[in-house]
Amino acid sequence: MKFFLDTANLDEIRKAVPLGIVDGVTTNPSLMAREGIAIEDQIRKISGIIDGDISAEVVSSTAKEMIVEGRGLAKIHRNIVVKVPLIPEGIAAVSALTKEGIRTNVTLCFSAAQALLAAKAGAYIVSPFIGRVDDIGWPGMDLIRDIVTIYNNYGYKTQVLAASIRGPLHVVDAAKAGAHIATMPLKVLHQMFHHPLTEKGLEEFLKDHNRAFQLAGA
C-alpha cells in the first residue's frame, strides 16, 4: 500500500519525508487555499521536497478549460498527477488528458458507479472519500470494497486511493479492502505509530538496560 500525505503545507511534508515511508502527496483547492500561495508555485515547491506522485487539482468548470489547465499543471514537474472532479466535464477532460499521456486523479468519488466512469475514462487514480461518507452515517469502507471488486473483475488499472481518512483504522481497513493508496493528514500518519504496549515495552527495556550496565559501570 502506498502512503500519500494529504496536505499542501511544506513544513508537514518536510517533517514526513525523512520517515522514508511517504510515497506522494495529494492536495485539493481547500488545502491550497490554507497556504495562500499560487498553486503553480506551491506545487513546484512540493515537487522539490518529495520525489513521488503529487496531485494538483484543476479549478476550471468546463472540459476544455480543465484540459488546458491540466496540461499546464502537468508541465510543472514529471511527478504531477492532475486532479479532476468526478463530473461529466471532468470525465471528458480525463479521457482527453489520458490520451495525451497525462496522468489523472479523479476526485470527489462517492459511489462505485462513479468509480466505473473514472476507470473507463482511463484515470490513473480514483479518490473515494471514505471519511465524508462515514460523516453522513453511511459505510464509507463499503465503497472501497465495491470499487476494488469491480476493478479486479475487469482488470482496470486505475489505482484506488482511499481519501478523506479520519484515523489509523481507516488506513488498516482500506488496506484490508485492497486499496492501492491511502492519503492521510500528517496527524493520522503519526497516530499509526502509537500503541501503549510499544511505548511501555521500550521504557522497560531501557530501564533494565540502564540498571544493568550503569550499575556494572559499563
Q: Which of 3, 110, 129, 151 binds ligand G3P (CB under 6 A)?
A: 129
The verdict on 9 binding ligand G3P (CB under 6 A) reads no
Do 184 and 204 meet the contact criterion of CB atoms below 8 Å apart? no
> Phi-psi category of 20—alpha, beta or left, where left has phi over 0 and alpha has psi -120 to 50?
left
Catalytic residue from among 15, 45, 83, 120: 83
| Binding region for ligand G3P (CB under 6 A) out of 43-51, 84-92, 128-136, 168-176 | 128-136
Q: Which of 16, 25, 26, 47 binds ligand G3P (CB under 6 A)?
A: 26
Q: What is the 3-state secondary structure (H, E, C) of 149-175?
A: HHHHHHCCCCEEEEECCCCHHHHHHHH
What angle in degrees, to the nearest 10, is found between the helix axes of 112-120 and 140-154? 40
Q: How far apart are CA 28 and CA 52, in angstroms?
A: 17
Q: How far apart are CA 51 and CA 136, in angstroms?
A: 35
Q: How far out from the chain centre does Cα 47 lie?
A: 15
| Binding region for ligand G3P (CB under 6 A) out of 73-81, 125-133, 152-160, 199-207 | 125-133
Give backbone dihedrals phi and psi of 127, rounded to 5 degrees, phi first.
-115, 90
| Binding region for ligand G3P (CB under 6 A) out of 10-18, 36-44, 63-71, 129-137 | 129-137
In the region spanning residues 165 to 194, those forming contacts with ligand G3P, defined by CB under 6 A, are 183
> Could you confirm whether 83 is annotated as catalytic?
yes
Q: Which of 163, 174, 182, 188 binds ligand G3P (CB under 6 A)?
A: 163
Q: Which of 29, 72, 131, 178 binds ligand G3P (CB under 6 A)?
A: 131
Q: List residues binding ligand G3P (CB under 6 A).
A: 6, 26, 28, 129, 131-132, 163-164, 183
Task: Indicate which residues carry an active-site annotation.
Answer: 83
